[in-house]
Amino acid sequence: MSNVQIMTGNQAAAIGVKLSNVQVISAYPITPQTSLTEAISQFVEGGELKAEYIRVESEHSVLAVCISASAVGARVFTSTSSHGLLYMHEQLHWAAGSRLPIVMCCVNRGVGAPWSIFNDQQDSVAQRDTGWIQIYCRNNQEIIDTLIQAYRIAEAVYVPVMVCYDGFVLSHTMMPVEVPDADLVKDFLPPYKPHMILSPEDPRNINPVIFPWRRQDPEGVLRDGYMELRYKLQKATEGARDIIVATNRAYTEVFGRDHGGMLWTYRADDAEVILTAMGSLASEATVAADMLREREIKAGVVGIRVFRPFPKEEVREVFGNRCAIFVFEKDISYGYEGALCSDLKAAFYGTGSRAPIHNYIVGLGGRDVKARELAEATLSSLEAIASGTTEPETTWLNCDTYLPGSEVRGQGLGDRRQEEKCRINYSRSIKKNICCRGTGPARGVASP
Amino acid sequence: MLPGNRSCQGCGLSLAYRYLLKALRGNTILTIPASCLTVLHGLYPTTSVAIPCLNCTFPSTAASASGLVAGLNALNRTDITVVAVAGDGGTYDIGIQALSGAAERETDFIFVCYDNEAYMNTGTQRSSATPMGALTTTTPILTKQQKKKDMLKIMDAHDLPYLASASSAFPLDLYNKFVRAKRIKGTRYIQISAPCPPGWIYPPKDTVKIGRLSVETGIVVLFEIEDGKFRFTGRSKTLAEKGSRLPIINYLERQGRFRKMSIEQLTQLQKWVDLRWNEYLRRAA
């Protein structure tokens, strides 16, 4: 009984919201999220989804509505992009601190100034430390499935979930999507039963001022101070790892689609070279891996699906014993490197891994990046590693990195020599060179 | 409201809050932003009120109320009154966008602004509700140069089913307004003048006296507008009938915050108060 329809990522998300029987929706328009909220409006006004839809005057208010509606016990949804998400920043902390199972779609878009309506992941990556679970989807099928999973995860751990997917690349691109059966979803995701709600029958003062230290309540019971509450949020978020994996497994059993839990791999088992990324870029990387395989490079892909909680154990397990790791990402932590790259490196610390890790900043503000370019970049880096040349650790791909007044011409567009280098075929001898120079296998693992 | 709370001695807000909770009775859910009321409510894990309350971020009070209403509607709990209470900073300044939005959406709730005319919780910084000529910690030498924002006029422009101006010094008038408001559907706005001894610089024992003088001089006018129909209420009604308002100097001279007010400012303020009073008289006629 398959029900495959051709739809955009935003339509997939809207159907996911409908299937999840969301009770309160609040949103404010921002490109490229708008067609999602428009589709939900159609469902609500057309009577397909019985929900309150509050069309507020700003994103800050959007999340205020979600927080309050969730506090009285309703299942809530919102979506935003870019500046909308940034405008919510205060409320993101407030939602997580309130421990409410809010689910939001972040349709990833670059942030200004200057204005860009196009895709990158700077918006959600910049919200990494707000206490939200972040899941990145690679295609439209994963969006609809992840949304349904997100409610089950959020309502189990009382931590809000951000379902992130790339603006335009997914949000406005039609793909075949199998729409899950509504009754099966109902079984998989029963109605939300909050552990505590705000009601006149049981008056409480929620989120009052709290001291740094622990204090006794009127019955003499010692209650949490600010730090204990923060520690509980941290433990709940860390603990969400098991729930995310279990939810994905349960979903696979019912619906037959496995999106990989914390992360997913592609041709990674025997891969010596790993390309890693989040969202649609990771999908692109699988095509690049195929191209590299055609040139007899054992390349594979690790797609980071969940960015927070960070899949530290999974990363250690799956990346162990590789020759080289290439991190492609659509964000930059100014003054350092890509945020995903930093987190990956931190996860490897202590494992003895000495695999070279090269960071590529790509696709900022919608700059096009093709699978071929990912493959060529990988080749270029591999060659540099093999020849022992020190490359910059972070490369801005498809970007003219020439700075006026600087003698050195940077890599990227317009650099003929670099482009030439990329075209050089990766030979067996080079590959051998890399692996034998001891840069690959982790310490404690037998060298070939 | 339980005995014992963390408000200052002679707090105008604590008086008003007591009366309004009495008028609202049970079956009410409250949302409040950062304000003196947050302090009055107490520090976790104790609280001085037996009313369900959700603390929200500073700019989002009215949006938070919208969420409560939406959530309760979705759960078929339409019998509960949602009330938002914010200070003048949380209403006139940082909260005005969310309030205007909620009012335009005809959100079914009561928004209460207790107006103590500055950021009192953070130590008396100037707000757009601070009157001309007042000293605050951010207008410490020259006093505030601009007029107070007419928030009631702004809210009136939203065509609300109910809008009222009250004072903590007139409990019955205030009580009646909340009883009336509770019976009406839609966005209801009630602004309460709440004198503040440390911020306005007068002895705590004079809170009621100062509040009364504010009405006697027409600085604060007690009125209500129901479905566009303006009515003076309480003492302001008598004043409107008898025409015996006191000059504002009687109110200003008792407060330390006006000690640097210039004669020009005094004249300007008196003129503005008279002008507005005449406007109200015309509307009431």
pLDDT digits (tens, 9 = 90+) for A282-320: 999 999 999 999 999 999 999 999 999 999 999 999 998
Question: How many CB atoms sit inside 10 A of residue B283's CB?
Answer: 15
pLDDT at A414 over 60: no
Query: Measured between alpha carbons, how far is B11 from A349 in angstroms, rounded to an integer?
Result: 57
Q: Which of A54, A90, A198 sits opposite B54 (nearest CB)?
A: A198
Contacts of A47 (CB under 8 A, 6+ apart): none
Which residues in B71-80 are b (16+ Cβ under 10 Å) and which e? Answer: bbbbbebeeb
What confidence score (pLDDT) does residue B201 get? 98
**Assigned CATH topology for domain A264-436:** Rossmann fold (3.40.50)
Chain B: closest CA distance from residue A329 (Å): 33
The Cα A84–Cα A73 span in angstroms is 25
Averaged confidence pLDDT in chain B: 97
Look up tokens 């999908």; give the residue. Answer: A283
B 211-230 near A (Cβ less than 8 A): none
- The residue count of chain B comes to 285
Q: Does B60 touch chain A (CB under 8 A)?
A: yes
Contact A192, A51 (CB under 8 A): no
Structure confidence at residue A429 as a pLDDT band (50, 70, 90): very low
- β strands within A82-213, DSSP E: 103-108, 133-136, 161-166, 175-178, 205-206
Helices (H), A73-139: 82-87, 89-97, 122-125
> What's the confidence (pLDDT) of residue A438?
38
Residue B42 to residue A209: CA distance in whole angstroms? 7
Per-residue pLDDT tens for A173-203? 999 999 999 999 999 999 999 988 899 999 9
- If you measure CA to CA, which chain B residue comes closest to A65? B67
Q: Are strands A205-206 and A222-223 parallel, antiparallel or unpaired?
A: unpaired
What's the ipTM? 0.96
pLDDT at A2: 81
Strand ordering across the sheet containing A357-361: A263-266, A299-304, A273-277, A324-329, A357-361, A394-396
Report the C-alpha gap between B268 and B131 in whole angstroms: 11
Q: Tell me the C-alpha to C-alpha distance, in Å, between residue A443 and each of A51, A344, A353, A447, B110.
A: 56, 17, 6, 9, 66
Quick one: tokens of B273? Answer: 């108060």
- What is the pLDDT, as a whole number, of residue A425? 40
Contact A338, A330 (CB under 8 A): no
Backbone angles phi, psi at A381, to 5 degrees: -65, -40
- Cβ within 8 Å, pair B74-A51: yes
CA distance B179 to chain A (A): 18
Domain ranges of chain B: 12-284
Query: Does the pLDDT at position B1 exceed 90?
Result: no
Tokens of residue B25, six digits: 């009775």
For B158, other C-beta atoms within 10 Å of its C-beta total 15
Q: Which residue of A has its CA nearest to B28?
A: A200
The DSSP line for A350-411 is: TTT----EEEEE--GGG----HHHHHHHHHHHHHHHHHTPPPPSEEETT-----TT-SS--S
Interface test with B, best of A65, A78, A215, A230 (most B CBs within 10 A): A65
Residue A35 backbone phi and psi in degrees, to 5: -65, -20
Would you state the pLDDT for residue A266? 98
> Across the A/B interface, how many CB contacts are shorter than 8 Å?
172
Indicate the DSSP class of residue A221.
-
Show Cβ contacts of residue B40 under 8 Å, excluding neighbours closer than 6 positions: B5, B6, B7, B11, B13, B14, B17, B48
pLDDT for res A386: 87
**Could you say which of B26, B66, B72 has the minimum Cβ distance to residue A65?**
B66
In the chain, the amino acid numbered A120 is D
Which residue does chain A place closest to B76, by CA atoms? A74
Per-residue model confidence as pLDDT tens digits over B217-276: 999 999 999 999 999 999 999 999 998 899 999 999 999 999 999 999 999 999 999 999
Task: For CATH 3.40.50.970, list the domain ranges present in chain A.
Answer: 4-195+244-252
Question: Is residue A251 within 8 Å of A150, Cβ to Cβ?
Answer: no
Report the pLDDT averaged over residues B178-206.
98
The whole-angstrom distance between B22's CA and the closest CA on chain A is: 15
Contact B66 A54 (CB under 8 A): yes
Residue A78 has pLDDT above 60, yes or no: yes
Residue A51 has pLDDT above 80, yes or no: yes
Which chain A positions have a beta carbon within 8 Å of B43's beta carbon? 208-211, 215
Structure tokens at B5: 């709370």
Reply yes or no on domain A4-195+244-252 having CATH 3.40.50.970.
Answer: yes
CB contact under 8 A, B65 and A68: yes
Neighbours of B67 (CB within 10 A): 36
**Residue A416 predicted with pLDDT over 80:** no
The 3-class SS string of chain B reads: CCCCCCCCCCCHHHHHHHHHHHHHCCCEEEEECCCHHHHHCCECCCCCCCCCEEECCHHHHHHHHHHHHHHHHHCCCCCCEEEEEEEHHHHHHCCHHHHHHHHHCCCCEEEEEEECCCECCCCCECCCCCCCCCCECCECCCCCCCCCCCHHHHHHCCCCCEEEEEECCCHHHHHHHHHHHHHCCCEEEEEEECCCHHHHCCCHHHHHHHHHHHHHCCCCCCEEEECCEEEECHHHHHHHHHCCCCCCHHHHCCCHHHCCCCHHHHHHHHHHHHHHHHHHHHHHC
Question: How many Å lie between the alpha carbon of B4 and the closest alpha carbon of chain A?
Answer: 13
Burial letters for A13-39: b for 16+ Cβ neighbours within 10 Å, e otherwise?
A: bbbbbbbbbbbbbbbbebbbbbbbbeb
Task: Categorize the per-residue pLDDT at A321 as very low, low, confident or very high, splitting at 50, 70 and 90.
Answer: confident
**Other beta carbons within 10 Å of A341:** 26
Q: Which chain A positions have a beta carbon within 8 Å of B101's beta carbon?
A: 56-58, 61
Where, residue-wise, is CATH 3.40.50.920 in chain A? 264-436
For residue A195, what pLDDT is reported?
85
Of residues B166 and A412, the one with the higher pLDDT is B166
Query: Pick from A143, A105, A94: which is nearest to A257 by CA?
Result: A143
Farthest-apart Cα atoms in chain A, separation: 76
Q: What is the pLDDT of residue A443?
A: 34
CA count, 13 A, side-chain hemisphere, B2:
12
pLDDT in tens, A344-399: 999 999 998 888 999 999 999 999 999 999 999 999 999 988 888 766 679 999 99
Structure tokens at A381: 């880096």
Which residue of A23, A199, A218 is in closest CB contact with B52? A199
Domain B12-284 has CATH 3.40.605.10: no
Has residue A446 got a pLDDT over 80? no
Question: Is the predicted pLDDT of residue A436 greater than 90, yes or no?
Answer: no
CA distance to A176, A319, A359, A380, B51, per residue, from A287 (Å): 19, 19, 19, 17, 59
Among B52, B66, B135, residue whose Cα is nearest residue B95: B66
Q: How far apart are CA A137 and CA A131, in angstroms?
A: 19
Say whether residue B83 is in contact with chain A using an 8 A CB cutoff. Answer: no
**What single letter denotes the amino acid at residue B262?**
S
For the stretch A91-149, pLDDT in tens is 999 999 999 999 999 999 999 999 999 999 999 999 999 999 999 999 999 999 999 99
pTM check: above 0.90: yes
